[in-house]
Structure 1
């Protein structure tokens, strides 16, 4: 079993690289997609930082979510696919079409190729953004896998894209999957050791705090270590009971950003000297967002309780994540160790 070939899409991604680490540790052979083969060296260097030298157990295929080219080659001979490649916040996305269409079409492109190649199961990296966005404050908490984001509510386009693309994936498998199995992993804010300068947007929360941002908005989030997210992907890939199921990846209860700041100050001491737990009034955040597009995405989240439970993954798959505090501290320590914090 362990010698089977697994495709991990989007090989330059933070979660994807930790999924590769987990797969290599279990003896699998891995193929990954990149939009340009020039980044192979970077991916291998990041794996080296994680202690992995895969050699010829890792191969690369050039494929883009926006193009059919390359996907048949990417999935050929694969027993499983972990599909994590997806448009992420980059500053270039302006309209709904910029966000939603590539996410939906990309998922369908990968699923269609996987079905045609006889892949057994695809594990989709979705997001908590497909579960807990757009709901009224009166909606029950904690959220769980039965919830879907209310895309007609007050939601950021990124969350809308994750919701519609995951729904499209489930619809495709139900209607046209021809036996292809699907599972999804829906992480909250993904923390843990960065392997280089290319990491998830959630990591910027910690980077900004360490670099001395002047205050924190009243925002709540779940947190989870990327190594545990990768472990959950592999469990969802291998366990027969995971077929057709969604799994939230989060550790413990959610935290307000001021509580995250306090974790850093308490655990890191002098290294976190610039970290503040001063909460910015909502009116200050709204005023700043008027001139700072990057802050506008935070407005629907102000004051919202986003607590969600991972009881299902723990019960069905035996998943046991690290504590949220350890995940947060591991993030900070890796950013400092790799020299990614501005002085």
Structure 2
């Protein structure tokens, strides 16, 4: 429990990750300020947080957008820490990767410029595990934080945005001589219970399985991690002296999509009757990807089993993620409770 009522800025308050960051910080006694792109979004954030905790007067808002430097100085003013969880959703045009990349990079730099100018103690930035993955998808093995992905135009826009934004962050901090330190957290595939229907992100995979929209499951493996564990890692990294200037992988248990489908069947019983556990042949997935952009983006991962180790987070920060089955079932139960699936 934080007894000093230190203030933490959480960027992107309407997001899946940010919502749980706000909840957990409030539970630990911090004061929280979060950014929204418009004052009209404040009510949605308060309602989402209220599903878990009464924020009372410890939650406040600041208007700031990743795409512009305006508003960030005011957002960080008086804050001890920053958790930069905001990430661009991209535009409607899937052939325009800059709609992801530019706001991710410039938004990160806007946050860091404001935070360092204000003398914030530490910025903890949400990156992604695939920024610590080999360039070639044909490579298999176990990777740690010393692996640094290099941008490649053949990558999907989301992965490129994470690689470029994290690289820009470390480059910026290399020239910084002030008191502010940076730590980055690299989560895997983030699932778990939702606080609202805003930005379901990875949880949409569970939604599609429960709806029976998938005739089977592709041979894709995911390092499933619970959103609550991801944000716990952020907060541990925020205050631990030994976390300054470090990267921490926050991946979970490696499971195949078929394992996820089976976990839903076992955990939800009749409510998962539409979930199909048939594993689709790779050739069928490749054929379907000719007309389905979503499938096309996952093709490089078919049958791939490279993983990441979280030994560093466990050893230095005492971090311990929960089992993948518990996480995906928790996500499914939340979707049912919210009426997203029947």
TM-score between both structures, scaled by the size of structure 2: 0.95
* Correspondence for 1:102: 103
Displacement of 1:133 in angstroms is 5.8
Aligned partners of 2:44 and 2:316: how far apart in 1?
36
> Partners in 2 of 1:90 and 1:214 — Cα distance?
28
C-alpha contact (below 8 Å) 1:2/1:26 kept by paired residues = no
State the match for 2:280 in structure 1: 280
Distance 1:136 1:100, change over 3 A: same
SS in 2 for 1:248: strand
Choose the corresponding residue for 2:22, options 11, 20, 23: 20
Q: Is the 8 A contact 2:90 2:99 kept in 1?
A: no
- Farther off after superposition, 168-177 or 238-247: 168-177
- The number of aligned residues is 339
* CA RMSD of superposed structures (Å): 1.6
Three-state SS of the structure 1 residue aligned to 2:57 is: helix
Change (3 A) 1:287 1:320: same
Aligned to 1:126: 127
Displacement of 1:302:
1.4
Q: Describe the SS at the equivalent of 1:162.
A: helix
1:281-318 per-position Cα deviation (integer Å, ceiling 9, x unaligned)? 22222222222223221122112113222111111001
SS in 2 for 1:326: helix
SS of the residue 1:291 aligns to: coil
1:74 corresponding residue in structure 2: 75
Superposition map of 1:1-343 within 5 A: 2-50=4-52, 52-88=53-89, 91-132=92-133, 134-139=135-140, 141-152=141-152, 154-176=154-176, 178-212=178-212, 213-252=214-253, 254-341=254-341, 343=342
Structure 2 vs 1, CA of residues 133 and 37 (structure 1 numbering), >3 Å: closer, same or farther? farther
Question: Is the CA contact (8 Å cut-off) linking 1:133 and 1:155 kept in structure 2?
Answer: no
Pair 59,126 (structure 1): closer, same or farther in 2 beyond 3 Å: same
1:89 deviation in Å?
A: 5.3
CA shift for structure 1 position 93: 4.5
Inter-CA distance 217–47: structure 2 relative to 1 (3 Å threshold)? same
Measure, in 2, the Cα distance between the counterparts of 1:177 and 1:94. Answer: 39
In the superposition, the TM-score normalised over structure 1's length comes to 0.94
Deviations along 1:142-167, whole A, 9 cap, x unmatched? 22211122433852121011011101
Distance (whole Å) between structure 1 residues aligned to residue 91 and residue 207 of structure 2: 17
**Structure 2: segments with no counterpart, 5+ residues:** none
Equivalent pair of 1:40/1:60 in contact (CA under 8 Å): yes
Deviations 1:174-219 (A, max 9, x none): 1135332000111101111111111342111111110112111111
**SS of residue matched to 1:94:** coil
Deviation at 1:134, TM superposition (A): 3.3
Give me the whole-angstrom Cα distance separating, in 2, the residues matched to 1:102 and 1:16: 17
Contact 1:124 1:184 in 2 (8 A): yes
Secondary structure in 2 aligned to 1:176? coil
Is the CA contact 2:282–2:302 (under 8 Å) kept in the aligned structure 1?
yes
Structure 1: tracts of 5 or more residues without a match: none
